[in-house]
Amino acid sequence: MQESVIYQDILQKGQEQGKQQEAFSLCMSLLSERFGQMDESIYQNVQVLKTEQLEALCRALLRMSEIDDLVIWLEQNTSS
């Protein structure tokens, strides 16, 4: 069973979801530490980011000094 294509696909999707959730949690923790409580709209915009985008946001956070920097980053890095 563990060698089946379907099992491997389900396992891979679960691992990807876990990685995305970990990246989201880390990002939100860092953003909260940096900026305090944020608007719900920012939370929602971060929540829909893909894992790669969340990782990029965590790196970009090192260059952000105010919440407006975050808003601009989200506008530039999310697809409509």
What digits encode the pLDDT tens for the residues 20-63? 999 999 999 999 999 999 999 999 999 999 999 999 999 999 99
Domain count, the chain: 1
Residue ranges making up the domain that contains 47: 5-77
pTM over 0.95: no
Q: Look at residue 19 in the predicted model and tell me its pLDDT.
A: 87
Residue 60: exposed, middle, or buried by beta-carbon count in 10 A (0-12, 13-18, 19+)? middle
CA distance 27 to 74: 13
Q: Do the Cβ atoms of 38 and 59 come closer than 8 Å?
A: no
* Tokens 């965590």, residue located: 58
